[in-house]
Structure formats: structure tokens, C-alpha cells
Amino acid sequence: MDGSVGGNLIGADGQPQFGLFEQPLANINYRDFDLRDAMDKPRGRLAKHFAFNQFQFISLCCEELIVGLAIVDLKWVSNAFVYCYAPRSGEFEEFSFVQPLARRSHIDTTPNCGEARFASGRNQLRISAQAGSRRVELSLASGLYIDAEIDEAAGYQPLSICTRAGYAGWVYTQKTTARPASGRLRWRGRELDLAASEALAGVDWSAGYMRRETFWNWGSLSARLGDGRRLGFNLVAGVNDTGYTENALWLDDKLVKLSTVAFEFNRRDGEAPWFMRSQDGVLDLRFEPAGRRCERRNAVLIASNFSQYFGRYYGRIQLAEETLVLDGQWGFAENHFARW
């Protein structure tokens, strides 16, 4: 890794620091970036504002429930979504909300001490971070309620990375998986104690001047092994892989960096298995979808073709000290096209 940073992303010369950081950055000060077009001409304040995208995604996983939720700020529009899936019964419910011009929406540029919030009518979502924890508060008109706290205290070691995006842009992302979660959740008459259910959380905080048109494949796991250890990973292909990758796994609190990962799947068959293999031979995984949340929007300026699957992982993870075996732990996979 490149050494402890912990300060601003953009330096005095108006350029971002690229690389993999030992410590997450304190402030993504994008307004200080010297943004230029493809002909190297400076772009104005409005362009700098509207081209900057941010999002935060949270997952919660336990034997009783799988939850995914996000706040996305594209400046021209913002949206939030949440879905719940009960593995034992197969019940599934999703909610999605949109705000033109990102009204009643906000995401701070401080990943570890700020907040993200979204409101639409009686539906409210807030994700707030402070030293040692990240809190998720969600209340929907439907009755879905979440008040969860994600442990980011002792041993917390997120993947923090900044990579080039297209000719003139960049993306900073901070990710972690398999973090202990506590609090409570109410859905369809159920009340779930997250700590008692040994729920684990994943966090994706991303911001930057992203490629105008892009795609990615993604795999994520937050689960417990048979001996009780926490295992998580974040796997990506197609985005944020210019010189560095955001592929990593966590075993309890230890971060292990991975090389590039190849995804094999049939996007026309939502029930077919996925295969994910890393170039370094560490990963050889099969993902079997159980369901998905999908969304297609084409609004000329912006567009999204989004399929996020939840299902079970099987396979082998070959570490230097031991071989880990996955035999049906729940996780996520995603195929996404975006025009920002």
C-alpha cells in the first residue's frame, strides 16, 4: 500500500492522489479538483458540480434476512432504494424513490464522519458515520423500519482506493464487508434483533467524476464460516480498475488484497450460475442466484440497466496459510450498465 494518508484527496495542484491507501481519506474535496474536458480546457463551476456523482450502498446479511439499501446522488436526479429478502420463506419486497435535481437529498464528502440522507414523502433514509461506527436509520410509509449500527471500531480496515476514470476523471471508493451489526429491523410483522441474529454488514462509499458511460460486474459476501470467523469480499470487473483494482477479502479484521477477477455469467438467464475466478488463483467461486432486484431507466441524459442478485456462494479461497471453503453462504452479485 502507498502509506497512510488520511487527509484530503485533492492536492494543492488540483490533482487527486491515486492509489491504494493504508488509511481511509478524511475528505473528498472535489471542488478543489482542476476539472478539464477531453481537450484539456478548464470546465466551469456548474460542470464541476453536476458531473460529480456520489452513492452509498449498505448490505445486511443473516440467516433470517438479506437487506440491500442505497442513496445515489447524480445531481440531476437522486434516488434511494431498499429491498428485503427472507431466505427461508422466499418473501421479497422492494421500494424505490426518485427526486429530481436531488431535492431532499444530500451526501457529505467526508466518508467517515458525515452523513447521507434522502426523503420522499413519509419515506426517509439516513446513513451517518462517526469514529468507530456507521448508523443506518430507515423509516418507510409501508412500515419497514431499520435502526442499525455497523461496527467500524477496533481492527476496522476498509479498502480505500482512488483510480482514474476515463481521460479526465477519477473515482474514490471505500469499501468493507463482514462487519458486525447491531440494532433492530421491522418488516412484515417480523422484529429482528440484528446482534442476536449475528448480522453482518457491507459498506460501499463511492464518489467522483465517473466515466460518462460505464458498466461493472460485482460480487460481495458478508458471512460467517463454520468456525465462527467472519469472511467477506468485494470483487469487481469493468470499473475502477485502471492501474489498481478494488478486489479484496476480509477474514475477521484482516484485509487481503486480490488480483483481477474474471466474471462468467449469462445476463439473459437470471437463474443461471455465475463463476468468479481471480487471476492469482486465490478465488474459484460459483454463485447461484435466488432472486434479484432489477431496474431499467433510460432518460436520455442518464440511463441505468441494473440487476442485483442475492444468492449463495460455493467454492474455494486459497490463502497462503489455509484453504477456505464456501458451501452456500449468502451474498450478492451485480451486472450494471450506467450512463451518468
Summarised one tens digit per residue, pLDDT across range 46-59 is 999 999 999 999 99
Give the CA distances from residue 107 to residues 11, 71, 128, 150, 215, in Å, rounded to whole numbers and listed in that order. Answer: 22, 8, 10, 18, 23
Give pLDDT, residue 165.
Answer: 93
| pLDDT recorded at residue 4 | 41
Which pLDDT does position 270 carry in this prediction? 86
Residues 163/242, Cβ–Cβ less than 8 Å: yes
Question: What's the whole-number average pLDDT of the chain?
Answer: 94
DSSP state letters, 317-328 = EE-SS-EEEEEE
Q: Which domains are seen in the chain, by residue range?
A: 19-339 (2.40.370.10)
* Distance in angstroms (rounded) separating the CA atoms of residues 62 and 246: 24
| Per-residue model confidence (pLDDT) at position 88 | 94
pLDDT over 50 at 128, yes or no: yes
Q: Provide the whole-model pTM.
A: 0.94
Mean pLDDT confidence for 85-96: 96
pLDDT of residue 324: 97
Angle at 247 between CA 246 and CA 252, to 5 degrees: 115
Q: How high is the pLDDT of residue 2?
A: 42
Q: Which residues are bridge partners to 229 per DSSP?
A: none
Mean pLDDT of 127-146: 97
Report the alpha-carbon distance of residue 213 to residue 144 in Å, rounded. Answer: 34
Percent residues over pLDDT 70 in the chain: 99
Whether the predicted pLDDT of 263 surpasses 80: yes
pLDDT above 80 (res 241): no
Return the pLDDT at 3.
37
Does residue 304 or residue 174 have the better pLDDT? 174
Asked if 313 and 287 touch (Cβ cutoff 8 Å), the reply is yes
What's the farthest any 2 CA atoms get from each other in the chain?
57
Amino acid at 28: I
Instruction: For residue 290, give the nearest of 231, 327, 330, 334 by alpha carbon.
Output: 330
Q: What is the mean pLDDT of residues 71-95?
A: 95
Label residue 69 by pLDDT band (50, 70, 90).
very high
Q: What is the pLDDT of residues 264-317, one digit of tens each?
A: 999 889 899 999 999 999 999 999 999 999 988 887 778 888 899 999 999 999
Which cell is 182 given?
447491531
In terms of Cα–Cα distance, which of 71, 147, 80 is closest to 114? 71
What's the burial of 92, exposed, middle or buried (CB within 10 Å: 0-12/13-18/19+)? middle
**What's the rounded Cα separation, in Å, for the pair 57 and 180?**
16
Q: CA-to-CA distance for 292 and 282, rounded, in angstroms?
A: 27
pLDDT, tens digit, 9 for 90 and up, residues 29-47:
999 999 999 999 999 999 9
The pLDDT of 73-86, averaged and rounded, is 95
Q: What cell does 110 get? A: 467526508
Q: Do the Cβ atoms of 206 and 54 come closer than 8 Å? A: yes
Tens digit of each residue's pLDDT (9 = 90 or more) over 227-238: 999 999 999 998
Q: Sorting pLDDT into bands at 50, 70 and 90, what band is 242?
A: confident
Query: Contact at 8 Å (CB) between 270 and 289?
Result: yes
- Give me the pLDDT at residue 238, please: 86
pLDDT of residue 154: 77
